Structures are given as structure tokens and as C-alpha cells.
């Protein structure tokens, strides 16, 4: 997605050879117009997938997922990383290890928000090791719903997540695919021309 890649080039900050900081438009401050275009693009790519719900994980996935849900005209559910103060009953749960943060989160979704037969589109902001997405896929399976695809805003193609997700048989659509970081610059995959 050209607009997103332009934004990454102008406003993204390469922290080291594995990490990109995008706090000015995606992970801290959020740019609504860009999120709108991201939502429109995901909705276009998955328009024939008969999506009934969008699923993401708090916190940074929510903005892009909400815009996608708006364009697809379906509800958005976000998985929680923190315990709800209200209820801990009837949950689907998965353990998600973060290689980046070196911590494990128990990720949960209330069973009432995922139904048998739901057609789920998973959206997230970053794809690195794929643990978060695979945890969400696990939760969808527990609900006997179906993952119709995975939409990622920024894929770090040099990390194992994209391969793991494709190998598991899921359709993966990433709006910006990063080949590498070098000398403080972002190098996109050569076949990332959309
Ligand atoms: P995974 O999400 O693919 O399993 O990879 P990993 O466990 O390594 O990622 C853990 C967290 O780090 C995720 O955020 C992910 O979005 C974020 N992350 C991974 N690589 C980068 C990067 O290059 N830049 C930035 N800015 N973030 C990255 P999270 O813990 O879910 O945070 P949040 O959604 O609560 O903000």
C-alpha cells in the first residue's frame, strides 16, 4: 500500500536491525485518515471472504481493525491481554509468548463474542514472530469458527511469522512488507508493489 509505505519512509524510525518505531502514526499517536485508508484496503482485499467478524488483540491492532470492520460492516472483537475486572467466566484463552518483549501473555476472548461458524478476519499492526496471530487462530478454532484470513499492517518479512502463518494454511495479506533495515533505512520487499 503506497500511502503506508510512504508514511513508514518519512515518519518511521529504525531502532536497530530488527525494530521499527512508528509511534507517530500507529503505536502511540494514531493518524485517523491513514487508518481509514488501511481499513478500506483490507476491506477491499477481503471483500469476497464473507467475513462476519474482525478479530484483533489489544492495544495497537484496534485502530486498523476498527476501520476494517467499519468498511466490511461487521463487528470488531479485540482479545484482551489483561484480566477483565468484571468477569473471568466463559473465556477462550491462549498463551502468547512475545520474543520481542520476552514475556508471555494469557490472551482471552469471551465466548459469547465468537460463534460456531463465524467467518473471522484477523487484523494486527505488526507481524514479527507470528505468536500473537497464531494465538488468535487457536482461539478462533476453540470457538469452532473459521479464520478466513490474516491482515497485517506492517510485516517484517525477515522474521519467521509470515512463513509460520502461510505454512499453517492461512491467507495472509500485509500492506507493507519489510525485507530488512540497513543504515537506518527501511528496505521493502521487491515484490511489494501494491
Ligand atoms: P508477534 O506479535 O508477531 O508474535 O511478534 P512479537 O511477539 O515479537 O511482538 C510483540 C509485540 O511487539 C507486539 O506488540 C508487536 O506488535 C510488537 N512489535 C514487534 N516488532 C515490532 C517492531 O518492529 N516495531 C514495533 N513498533 N512493534 C513491534 P504488543 O505487545 O501486542 O503491543 P501493543 O499492541 O500493546 O502496542
**DSSP summary character for residue 23:** I
Cα 97 to middle of ligand 1, angstroms: 11
- Ligand 1 pocket by Cβ (under 6 Å): 19-22, 27, 57, 59-61, 98-101, 125-132, 156, 161
CA–CA dist 44, 119 (Å, integer) = 16
Query: Residue 99: its pLDDT value, please?
Result: 84
Return the pLDDT at 183.
92
Whole-number Å distance, alpha carbon 180 to ligand 1 midpoint, is 16
Report yes or no on 193 lying in a domain: no
Q: Please give the pLDDT value at position 86.
A: 72
Chain CA centroid to CA 188, Å: 18
- Let me know if residue 138 belongs to a domain: yes
What does the pLDDT read at residue 100?
81
How many Å apart are CA 54 and CA 32, to the nearest integer? 18
Which residue's CA lies nearest to atom 36 of ligand 1? 60
> Does residue 174 belong to any structural domain of this protein?
yes
Strand partners, 120: 53, 147
Per the structure, the count of domains in the chain is 1
Q: Are 140 and 164 in contact (CB under 8 A)?
A: no
pLDDT at 158: 97
Collect the ranges in the chain with pLDDT lower than 70. Answer: 87-88
Q: Considering the entire predicted model, what is its pTM?
A: 0.96
Query: Considering the domain boundaries, does residue 194 fall inside one?
Result: no
| Residue 140 belongs to a domain | yes
| DSSP-assigned states of every residue in 133-191 | HHHHHHHHHHTT-EEEEEEEEEEETTSTHHHHHHHTT--EEEEEEEEEEETTEEEE-TT
CATH number of the domain enclosing 69: 3.40.50.2020
Residue 113 lies in a domain: yes
Integer distance in angstroms from the first to the last C-alpha of the chain? Answer: 5
CA separation for the pair 108, 92 (Å, rounded): 6
Q: Could you tell me the distance, in angstroms and rounded to a whole number, from the CA of residue 60 to the centre of ligand 1?
A: 9
Range of the domain at 29: 2-188
What number does the ligand 1 atom closest to the CA of 105 have? 30
Closest CA to ligand 1's atom 15: 126
The minimum-distance atom of ligand 1 relative to the CA of 23 is: 26
**CA 187 to CA 120: how far, in whole Å?**
31
- Measured in Å, residue 193 CA sits from the centre of ligand 1 at 24
Set of cell numbers at residue 108? 482471552
Question: Does 59 sit behind a cis peptide bond, omega within 30 degrees of 0 on the bond before it?
Answer: yes
Instruction: Provide the pLDDT for residue 72.
Output: 98
> In this predicted model, what pLDDT tens digit does every residue of 61-104 receive, in sequence order?
999 999 999 999 999 999 999 877 776 679 999 999 988 888 99
Amino acid at each position: 500500500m503506497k500511502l503506508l509505505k510512504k508514511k513508514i519512509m518519512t515518519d518511521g524510525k529504525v531502532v536497530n536491525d530488527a525494530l521499527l518505531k512508528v509511534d507517530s502514526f500507529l503505536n502511540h499517536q494514531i493518524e485517523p485518515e491513514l487508518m481509514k485508508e488501511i481499513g478500506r484496503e483490507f476491506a477491499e482485499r477481503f471483500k469476497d471472504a464473507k467475513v462476519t467478524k474482525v478479530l484483533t488483540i489489544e492495544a495497537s491492532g484496534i485502530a486498523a481493525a476498527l476501520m476494517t470492520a467499519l468498511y466490511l460492516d461487521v463487528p470488531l472483537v479485540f482479545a484482551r491481554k489483561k484480566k477483565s475486572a468484571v468477569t473471568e467466566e466463559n473465556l477462550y484463552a491462549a498463551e502468547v509468548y512475545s520474543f520481542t518483549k520476552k514475556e508471555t501473555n494469557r490472551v482471552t476472548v469471551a465466548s459469547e463474542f465468537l460463534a460456531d461458524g463465524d467467518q473471522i478476519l484477523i487484523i494486527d499492526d505488526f507481524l514479527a514472530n507470528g505468536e500473537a496471530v497464531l494465538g488468535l487462530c487457536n482461539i478462533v478454532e476453540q470457538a469452532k469458527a473459521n479464520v478466513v484470513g490474516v491482515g497485517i499492517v506492517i510485516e517484517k518479512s525477515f522474521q519467521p511469522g509470515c512463513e509460520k502463518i502461510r505454512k499453517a494454511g492461512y491467507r495472509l495479506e500485509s500492506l507493507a512488507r519489510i525485507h530488512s533495515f540497513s543504515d537506518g533505512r527501511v528496505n521493502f520487499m521487491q515484490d511489494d508493489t501494491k
